[in-house]
Structure 1
Amino acid sequence: MEQPLEPAVIRFSHCQKVIFCFSLPEQCPSCGEELRGSRLQEAPVSLPSPLTSAHKTSCCLLVAPAHDSKDKDVDGMSDLHTGISSTKGVVYNYTRNGVCRDLTGWERCVSVPLVRPDMFHLLAQWDQYLDRFSDGPMWDPAWHRFDEDHHNCFSFCLGFINGVLAMEGRSSLSRETFTHTFILPKMRRVSKYTTLYQHIQRHRFYLVDRQEDTQEDTQEDTDLSRVQFHKDSLDSGH
């Protein structure tokens, strides 16, 4: 089932402030000047959400809230579940009942692409690799029991990724290396975006000083790097 669309965060500049909100206001929240018909320092831009539907991805590692978690946001505070998407967006994930192949339920998650678009030989074999790996005895409840600490959904994902790396003649990745290199940067971005989003929901705007000496913003990461959240700023109207 499709999740309802959330309003997008937009960013624009005025009176030496960078302003984040859901829609362009009639007046600048900083100086009060009328914005309708006025010339902005730059055109408003939309910040894409770092969350996506896994079922629209191909060959990705997915991180989502655990199905039994009361907190359905991927904010670093909720229990998380991981899976691997097929070329058709089916999410293979390991649970206490073995490997599930989910067609729905992963509509809000973090995706980490695992295969370059030009790796045609790997793309052609991806689904076959996934099926073969998922059918192995390591993930059969009759042979191995799910363990939250040592034999879990992430063990399944990392085991599959390292199996593919081995077939490609490349070195395997440790859990620590993969987590710190590929997952944590994505999760930090999600956490920052979520905090920004919730602040705008409460206060309508988030304002920061414009940094004239920075390069022109062309990437979403640069947009979010402007946002520095502190307790004082979150409790205020800024």
Structure 2
Amino acid sequence: MQGKCAVITGSTSGIGLAYAKALAAEGVNLMINGFGEPDAIEAERSALEARGVRALYSPADMTKPAEIADMIATARRELGAVDVLINNAGIQHVAPVEEFPDEAWDAVIAINLTSAFHAVKHAVPLMREAGWGRIINTASAHALVASPGKVAYVAAKHGIAGLTKTVALETAEDNVTVNAICPGYVWTPLVEKQIPDTARTRGITEDEVKRDVLLAAQPTKKFVTVEEVASLALYLCSDRAASITGAVISMDGGWTA
């Protein structure tokens, strides 16, 4: 992987930042992206560069197709290639379907699903031209099963599974692989943020949400770690995984078993 270049959306914290750290450790130059405090983002970007790679930051808004296209073009121009694309940007909103705000539906679908389409659309021609590419979409156990109160998120993640399979077929002869990782509950800012909404929706305490809602779904009774997810992504990027494409891979502590 030494010298290859990766674009990772939603990579200023959580799973996305773990991807960036893992790839940087293998010598991959990076374009990170996401929201956050400017000083905190700069600190993470500098820490990545301290590993001996180039690390750029794009503030591209994942709800704006033109900004996504510009992010991919900038990575190609400044880093020389887009060898790896990891679509990881995501938000969550929890509410019963009849109370689900229209604007929340639009935002979740835009950031969790539509942004991945736009990034893939602009990255695939570059990978075909180079004769090599890896696309990894962060899906979720919710790409395979549903939970109440998460109509937009579940719809988006099911959509990510379909996007993954379709693009994998379209690029199957181009030395480009396209896969989705489906973690169970990972302790990230996104999961932490949804706990109060879930508690309110279900009328239980936040501790009960963790014990009886989140980890109840995972037979291991443990949160998946960001490092575990990043390790799987590294394998999928390697040439040892060249025959794995169109896969929707569970990493959920047995949840979907």
TM-score by length of 2: 0.25
TM-score by length of 1: 0.27
User: Of Structure 1 and Structure 2, which has the larger fraction of its residues in helix?
Assistant: 2
Higher Cα Rg, which structure: 1
User: Of Structure 1 and Structure 2, which has the larger fraction of its residues in strand?
Assistant: 1
